[in-house]
Amino acid sequence: MCGIIGYIGAQKATPILINGLLRLEYRGYDSAGISTMEKNGLSVMKDKGRVKNLYDLDGINDLEGTIGIAHTRWATHGKPSKENSHPHLDNSKTFAVVHNGIIENYNDLRAFLIENGYTFYSQTDTEVIPNLIHYYYSKDAEKDEFKLLRAVQKTCKDLKGSFALQVLSKDLPDNMLVVRKDSPLVIGKGNGENYISSDIPAILSFTKDFYFLNDYEFAILSRDKIDFYDIDLNKITKKIKSIDWNASAADKNGYEDYMLKEIFEQPNAIRETIGSHLPENERCTFENLNFSKAFLQSINKIYIVACGTAMHAGLTGKIAIEQLCNIPVSVDIASEFRYRNPIIDKNTLCIYISQSGETADTIAALKLSKSKGATTLAISNVIGSSITREADYCIYTHAGPEIAVASTKAYTSQVMLLNILAIYFAEILESTPYSEIVKIKNEILSLPAKAETTLKCCNEIKNFAKNMYQEKDVFFLGRGVDYNTSLEASLKLKEISYIHSEAYAAGELKHGPIALIENGITVVSILTDELLVEKTISNIQEVITRGANTLVITNKTLPSNNIDKIVPIPDTHTSLSSILSIIPLQLLAYYISKEKGLDVDKPRNLAKSVTVE
């Protein structure tokens, strides 16, 4: 949830650090701070509230250091306050540390350190880390350049939980040390300078060349050198990876908010995700996959595991895979998956979806599947992210950086990629007639243009939002794939407008939820499956007769039947329809939030990348 930035080079660090923190604001936070290496030792400037508050701190403009670390904190241990903000110092003020993640055994470590004479000034779990480093550092009689590395290594072995750490030491004024476990951290390589971040977009304007650390890998950085070590402090070699995102993709490009920009980027994100997977008159291809017919025939079950929006994409992927491949698919919430002892063996394929590739619950579930012998496949939007390094195979959406907390283009790209994956499996298995495969491929290739057409409903949705932004409860209805879309639409509305909403399978309405329908309440229905048109219309009429206001998103020709608003979208294959039907509902959530005067890109209590369980 928190954000990390680091810089080591020849420029003043402070402006670079604060600029990086501003680019990480979408991750969610309640306080911010920086530490720089000054001539007289370590300087720490921090406070609760927004990053921009740092500009007002006394003395911050006097900082001259060219090495520094910075952090945005999202409170887990201790309330938002200056004292609980990062960076944290040890008692001797020799070490400054910023930390993403959670230290699960911090109470035990805190008690141990108090017994050894250390004092604590915050309520955080993080403060044990610099003091534990000092404890081991002071016990080491050696005076060589690796003394700090050994102290951090011993500290990390004591820590239970997740962490990405940046460490400065006044005894090593020309170096910075970083390490990670189960929390994202990237190193950007420049010319005579290096950058650290918890997320690529924050430093993308400075470099396109990145190193990605695996768990328990350490890096010691100087201005023109980076040395890598494993947990046993053996020196290792890391390959650099180039990221071809355009830095301007992280800017608003004239849109009022990142979310609106990203909604309108969906046609191109879909186009980029389709990429070269569907060559004309040839079978579907995935460069990173080499599945054989024998392997796919041996699979007796597929799990799709994800959280939130990615899980909703998985529900739609389930429909496509089952229909085209005749393989049973179960979709699980990652945070629940590990704790129900799922039935997994060597004949299980587990697909894990995470936009950031750093979702802690999803990564933990992936590790469990691997330990049980399953084949694992990761779907992510971030090259080199943790989940893609942990999985046996990985494939990528190509949505580009998604800055707004509420996911839009990542969702539609995930649904797109899952449908292409289903075709890939089906062609290998020969489980679906060729003519049907060709039909779906042609529909996929037409989707970017149809998404552009769908976006033309923008003004209609904006006007409808003006009539419902004061609602306290909203209900979404759908059947089949439309129910999955309803779940995602309801989540979007909750996330950014704070309106309570629920999604129901339309056929379940009379089994209880219809008791909640009263005069004036808004019910949004999605109708794209031609096999379920009549039944869904009947469900819509049930709420109309009870006084509900109705909005229907559909690609079918419907009689008005007293429906308040019908928003037409282009027709497409049923398994692909959620890619188009969700767009008006993303816009609906956006415009309702704007009518309420809320911060669309940074909704309260939420963060872009959930890196703690």
Topology of the domain comprising 3-247? Glutamine Phosphoribosylpyrophosphate, subunit 1, domain 1 (3.60.20)
Per-residue confidence band for 28, with pLDDT thresholds at 50, 70 and 90: low
**Has residue 528 got a pLDDT over 60?**
yes
- Give the mean model confidence (pLDDT) for residues 431-440: 95
Domain(s) labelled CATH 3.60.20.10 in the chain stretch across: 3-247
Which of 277, 271, 582 minimizes the C-alpha distance to 422?
277
Half-sphere exposure of 497 (CA within 13 A, CB side): 30
Where in the sequence of the chain do the CATH 3.40.50.10490 domains occur?
252-432, 457-595
Identify the helix (H) or strand (E) that includes residue 440.
helix 434-454
> Of 3.40.50.10490, 2.40.37.10, 3.40.50.300, 3.40.630.30, which CATH number belongs to 457-595?
3.40.50.10490
Catalytic residue list: 2, 608
Instruction: Measure the CA dihedral 121/126/129/132, to 10°.
Output: 40
Q: pLDDT at position 184, please?
A: 82
The chain-wide mean pLDDT, for the chain, equals 91
pLDDT of 545 above 80: yes
Report yes or no: 32 and 45 within 8 Å, Cβ to Cβ. Answer: no
Average pLDDT value for residue range 182-193: 91
- The dihedral through the CA atoms of 45, 29, 332, 311 has a sign that is negative
Q: Give percent of the chain above pLDDT 90.
A: 69
Q: CA 404 to CA 182: how far, in whole Å?
A: 23
User: Residue 608 pLDDT more than 70?
Assistant: no
Query: Are 587 and 263 within 8 A, CB to CB?
Result: yes
Instruction: List pLDDT tens digits, range 555-578.
Output: 988 877 788 899 999 999 999 999
Cα-trace Rg, the chain: 26
- Among candidates 304, 289, 396, 400, which has minimal Cα distance to 352? 304
Kindly report, residue by residue over 253-310, the tens digit of the pLDDT: 778 999 999 999 999 899 989 988 998 788 999 988 989 999 999 999 999 999 999 9
Three-state SS for 215? Answer: coil
Q: Is the pLDDT of residue 252 over 80?
A: no
Q: In terms of pLDDT, which residue wins out, 162 or 235?
A: 235
Confidence check: pLDDT of 34 > 60 = yes
> What is the CB neighbour count within 10 angstroms for residue 144?
9
Beta strands in 155-221 (DSSP E): 161-169, 176-181, 186-189, 194-197, 209-212, 217-221
Q: What is the pLDDT of residue 607?
A: 64
DSSP 31: E
Query: Which fold, 252-432?
Result: Rossmann fold (3.40.50)
Q: What is the pLDDT of residues 207-218, one digit of tens each?
A: 999 999 989 999
Q: What is the pLDDT confidence band of residue 518, given thresholds at 50, 70 and 90?
A: confident
Q: How far apart are CA 25 and CA 50, in angstroms?
A: 8
% of the chain with per-residue pLDDT over 70: 97
CA dihedral 423, 428, 431, 432 (to 10 degrees): 40
- Stretch 448-453: mean pLDDT, rounded? 96
Q: Name the band, by pLDDT with cuts 50, 70 and 90, for residue 403.
A: confident
Q: Mention every residue, 6+ apart, whose C-beta is less than 8 A from residue 511.
A: none
pLDDT value, residue 610 = 57
